[in-house]
A and B are shown apart, each in its own frame.
Chain A
Amino acid sequence: MTRPLSDNPTARDLHRITVDHSPVDETPVVGSRHGRVDALDLLTGVGKYADDLVLPRMLHCKILRSPHAHARILHIDTSAAESMQGVHAVITGADLPVRYGVIPWTQDEYPLALDKVRYVGDAVAAVAASSEDVARAALARIAVNYEVLPALADPREALARSDVKIHEDNKHGNISKQVTLAFGDVDAALAQAELVIEGDYLFHGSTHGAIEPHCAIGHVDGHGLLTVWSATQVPHYLHRELGRVLDRPSHSIRVIQPPVGGAFGGKSEPFDLEFCVAKLAELTGRPVKCLYTREEVFLAHRGRHPFQMHYKTGFDRDGHILAVDGKSLLDGGAYSSFGLVTTYYSGQLLGSPYTFPAFRFDSTRVYTNKPCCGPKRGHGSVQPRFAIEVQLDKAAVALGLDPIELRRRNFIGENTQTIGGFHVGSSGFLQCLDEVERASGWRQRRGKLPKGRGLGIAGSTYISGTNYCIYPTELPQSAVQICLDRSGRVRVFVGTSEIGQGSNTVVATLAADELGVELEDMRVLAADSDLTPVDLGAYSSRGTLMAGNACLAATRELAAKLREVIASTWDCPAGDVGLAHRKAYRLSDPSVWMPIQEAFILAESKLGTLGAVGSYKTPTANVHGDYRGGTIGASPAYSFTAHVAEVEVDEETGDVTVLQIWCAHDCGLALSPTLVEGQIEGSTYMGAAEALMEHHRVLPSGLRTDGQKRDTGPGVEGLLAASSLLDYRMPTSMDVPELTALIVERPDPRGPRGAKEAGEGPLHSSIPAIANAVYDAVGVRIDDLPIAPEKILAALKRKASPSGEVR
């Protein structure tokens, strides 16, 4: 029997154990109202983001970028730059001649262009100098001879032109990826359908717009260990690619991810700057920092792919979907990025929340000479979801059905399979529809609003991470190490990337309940490859489910040890020991208790240092389709969302004002409701911005936004229309509609305590809900985004003169 310390004042004082005599509080931390556990560090200006780090003798790196959209590099002369005072090293493609890319099968980028540049902004050379000013001056003295090649800005042109190849060794012209998958007899189902809705949709491109620009620092220590600090959301993939490109064993690289100032998918693969600072640090023996300018952030991009879509959807007379046939052309920009996955996701993520008895998608991603597209919040499915949800709205109008009712009728259900073979566990989609219908006053108000006002509905789903990693592995996708401290504190070492979404808070919340401590007692150390186990990163909304499960595995093991030791003290069964809010207590008699710190000390004195590891492996049996590509997009658990938007359209000016958006999101269980609301609001806002304002547009010719006049002729394609936060119209606090976040909880057995994702799902249906509301308001469809005033005015004119003539 272990002797308690609480009744021994000397022992208690020696260990400085605080004894709080208030009654045991059994309210769970999970589900309680709290903010980010690490918020105050950032709010007081103490927390250090990448660019806030300064190392002694640190040099500054700037990168020379291509002024041409497509050109062959004939010669680079760096001698003048190298001879400048304050310049310590200059590197070009020849110094890092290894291809990289986040997807192992489609590596087609070099850290610095080797023989060709493929977009305006492609990296060509990098300088390490005593200051940014000197580095910038040195860039001006690097002479590059280019042979300018015809540039392809339009994806259809890129498909058609066999004479211009953006990647010479690509097998299929300028096609980066092509996927066709068909389930059921789509043609027969469409032929039998009572109603076929057919439409063309254009989803313009958009970019992430994180307020923190990309930044990285490289440093090689006396033992030859290369450390790279980077504003990345995938430190593990960065670690892998640094090893490959620099030809270093992975044990000689340490990647540290400081707090990140927003990412949204824009920092989810390695970038030129990380390789450059690493190489320059190796060459100079000094720390090297590179901070992107805002224009460079726009050029690095990896934002939402522009999609040209053609959708055919067949319905019976009651509004049941009979078949969906979608064809998409994806404008990929200069490189692959995650494009292989994007191309699959453009169809594979559509299989719920509605039943598709027959489904075919045919998606082609092409290279163009523009900044590379990649994953942005809601990767790959935001664009087709827009088309699907507008198609449903058109069907509801044609059939005289309420569009919410039409969606209910098509609900796929729970514990079921999509037509593509993905296992869907829990689904609160119907509750989401109910919630937005109720909160928006849909039944009472729709159809009775004043002229120019309208309500629109849309629904969606998203993944909570994917079952298969982007490289084949049997290793866990996430892991944690947890230590109990004799001070009563709990340290969690976790590989997850905190980018503002609250991943540190998620593990802290789960662990606090299991171990009976307060959130303030949790110390979460994240994303340092020397200190924390591997987690694959903050993408595909995988953090809560995967790191959460890993955390539960470790904490439950530790909690069991604690209970055993305490039970032996009290001579009671271990199952009678509760742990909550800094107390261990008897469940059958809460008047018997001890401070949790004392429990930690007792357990440590009996068992030695208290630590446990936990890891999470995704399910692989009966969760995905048994065909090529059938695993891509399959997730352990799916979130569900519904949006209702209320808009006001000014028929004189074509201006659309979104008055309010109600968003109901099924996140399984809200571990931190305040943070979940934040994700719902942030996603919904970002979607609304894409619907109405934002456009990452590349000009076929023209001026750079810095006002520098450029030559006309070949090679002037590929200039950004908006490469500043003034020209790229992100909403301010004055532009956002009222956002109402409604949490729906439908726990999933695969989620930690039932939790599913909340970070990306709630973006999707924001966009079609607004488009559908515009139709409800003024009776015109804008199927090419963004919904700009001139498009509304043109559509209103067409509507007014049914002959189709627009004056």
Chain B
Amino acid sequence: MTAAENRSAARAAQLLHFQLNGEAVAVAAPPHWTLLEVLRYQLNLTGTKQGCDKGDCGACTVRLDGAPVLSCMTLAALVQGRAVETVEGLGVGGEPHPLQRAFAELGAAQCGFCTPGMLMSAAAYLDDLATREAPAVDTGEISAVLGGNLCRCTGYTKIVQAVAVAAGEVIERTQLLAEMSNDDGGMP
């Protein structure tokens, strides 16, 4: 192959299979494309935002196998066979996620542009919280979890409050479920 043919072969779109918000997707994308580009420009999932395209702002945060990642710094080829979650998959059956409700009620989203990324970082944290033995609402921990997501509108106060409220709901639900499973002799 000539150098030009090599280049063009290297840029040829490759087929990617992965789980996106719980559904299997197949999409062809050039191997140098980022996950952010594939989500926004191939799959039209524009809920995930681009703020800087160099991993500084966190607006493009999505979950990859549950962990928050910067989709602008993740090559799409890396998600082959894995599970990706975006803000569009956060609510269930048309109902907003507790985080989305808390953000709306408490004014934690002003312009809303950093919010999808913020929500995905927070959602990963809440899921982690639900697996702990003695979960507790800790605003210091919440601030640390959101440390990679820049917000320019709020000063973070209401964001931390909203995540704390949603965390409280998760903890209550987890404890309730645990009590019920005890009462029922181990039934989930």
Contacts and interface: CB of A to CB of B under 8 A. Distances in A.
B45 interface: yes
A734 interface: yes
A681 B154 contact: yes
Contacts of A733: 142-144, 146-147, 149, 151, 156, 159-160
Contact of B51 (A45, A213, A264, A681): A213
Nearest to A42: B112
Interface string A713-731: 0000000000011100010
A682 interface: yes
Contact of A682 (B45, B112, B142, B153): B153
B111 A293 contact: no
Contact of B112 (A47, A730, A736, A739): A47
A51 B53 CA distance: 13
A501 B50 CA distance: 21
Interface string A663-700: 00000000000110110011011100000000000000
B125 to A, nearest CB: 12
A682 B57 contact: no
A51 B50 CA distance: 9
Contacts, number: 184
Contacts of A44: 47, 87-88, 90-91, 96, 100
Interface string A47-87: 11101101000000000000000000000000000000000
B61 interface: no
B153 A262 contact: yes
Interface in B48-67: 48-54, 56-57, 59
B112 to A, nearest CB: 3
Among A39, A686, A733, residue most surrounded by chain B Cβ atoms (within 10 Å): A733
A301 to B, nearest CB: 15
B107 interface: yes
Contacts of B164: none
Using C-beta atoms within 8 Å of the partner chain, give the interface range for chain A.
35 or more
A212 interface: yes
A40 B156 CA distance: 18
Interface in B80-116: 86-88, 90-91, 96, 100, 103-116
A294 B51 contact: yes
A54 B148 CA distance: 29
A208 B152 CA distance: 8
B56 A724 contact: yes
Given A39-B103, A44-B87, 15 more contacts: A35-B106, A39-B112, A40-B100, A42-B111, A43-B100, A54-B44, A211-B111, A212-B111, A260-B111, A294-B54, A682-B155, A685-B155, A725-B150, A732-B156, A736-B156
A557 B160 CA distance: 42
Interface string A107-133: 000000000000000000000000000
Among A44, A264, A725, A741, residue most surrounded by chain B Cβ atoms (within 10 Å): A44
B126 interface: no
A590 B50 CA distance: 53
B171 interface: no
Contacts of A681: 154-155, 157-158
B119 interface: yes
Given A43-B109, A211-B114, A211-B152, A678 B51 contact: no
Among B57, B107, B109, B142, residue most surrounded by chain A Cβ atoms (within 10 Å): B107
Given A211-B150, A682-B155, A43 B48 contact: no
A20 to B, nearest CB: 22
A622 to B, nearest CB: 36
17 contacts: A35-B106, A36-B107, A43-B109, A44-B90, A45-B116, A210-B152, A211-B57, A212-B111, A213-B50, A262-B110, A262-B113, A294-B57, A677-B107, A678-B153, A725-B150, A726-B56, A733-B142
Contacts of A724: 52, 54, 56
Contacts of B100: 40, 43-44
A43 B119 contact: yes
Interface of A: 33-36, 39-40, 42-49, 51-52, 54, 208-213, 259-264, 291, 293-294, 499-502, 674-675, 677-678, 681-682, 684-686, 724-726, 730, 732-734, 736, 738-739, 741
Contact of B96 (A36, A40, A262, A293): A40
A293 B107 CA distance: 29
Interface of B: 40, 44-54, 56-57, 59, 86-88, 90-91, 96, 100, 103-116, 119, 142-144, 146-160
Contacts of A43: 87, 96, 100, 103-104, 109, 112, 115-116, 119
Nearest to A34: B105
Contact of B143 (A261, A294, A685, A734): A734
Contacts of B147: 732-734
A769 to B, nearest CB: 15
Contact of A211 (B44, B59, B105, B159): B59
A238 B82 CA distance: 45
A47 B88 CA distance: 11
A484 B10 CA distance: 59
Contacts of A500: 110-113, 153
Contacts of A682: 110, 152-155
Contact of B155 (A212, A213, A675, A739): A739
Contact of B46 (A45, A210, A499, A502): A45
Given A678-B158, A681-B155, A739-B155, A42 B109 contact: yes
A732 B110 contact: no
A505 B159 CA distance: 19
B110 A502 contact: yes
Contacts of A40: 96, 100, 104
B49 A211 contact: yes
A351 to B, nearest CB: 29
Contact of A675 (B46, B96, B107, B144): B107
A261 B49 contact: yes
A678 B107 contact: yes
A209 B111 CA distance: 13
B173 to A, nearest CB: 20
A294 B52 contact: yes
B104 A725 contact: no
B149 to A, nearest CB: 7
A39 B109 contact: yes
A49 B146 contact: no
Nearest to A259: B112
A217 B116 CA distance: 23
A666 B107 CA distance: 20
Contacts of B151: 211, 733
Contacts of A264: 152
